[in-house]
Amino acid sequence: MVSALSACKDEPTHDVQYYLDNPKERTEKIAECKNNPGEKALAANCVNATEAQRKAMFQGDGMPKIR
């Protein structure tokens, strides 16, 4: 458990707005989090990237256009 917590400290924490402004990083972070949910599900960056994805979908950034 201690090693999991110390590994998270090496990475800077980004807020939701950062992930809204950086969709590539958001997508990469979400993929990383989904690949290892047991260790990363509650990590701040996983939570923030997931929340940014949810907001982007409701703001229109992540939804396909319907014509």
pLDDT confidence of residue 61 = 52
Query: Is pTM, for the whole model, over 0.75?
Result: no
Could you say which residues of the chain have pLDDT below 70? 1-9, 60-67
The whole-number pLDDT of residue 25 equals 98
The pLDDT assigned to 13 comes to: 98
When computed from its CA atoms, the radius of gyration of the chain, rounded to whole angstroms, is 13
Q: Specify the pLDDT at position 1.
A: 42
Please give the pLDDT value at position 56. 93
User: What are the extents of the domains in the chain?
Assistant: 2-59
**Tokens found for residue 43:** 């990590």
pLDDT of residue 55: 94
Q: Rounded to an integer, what distance in angstroms lies between the CA atom of residue 46 and that of residue 13? A: 10
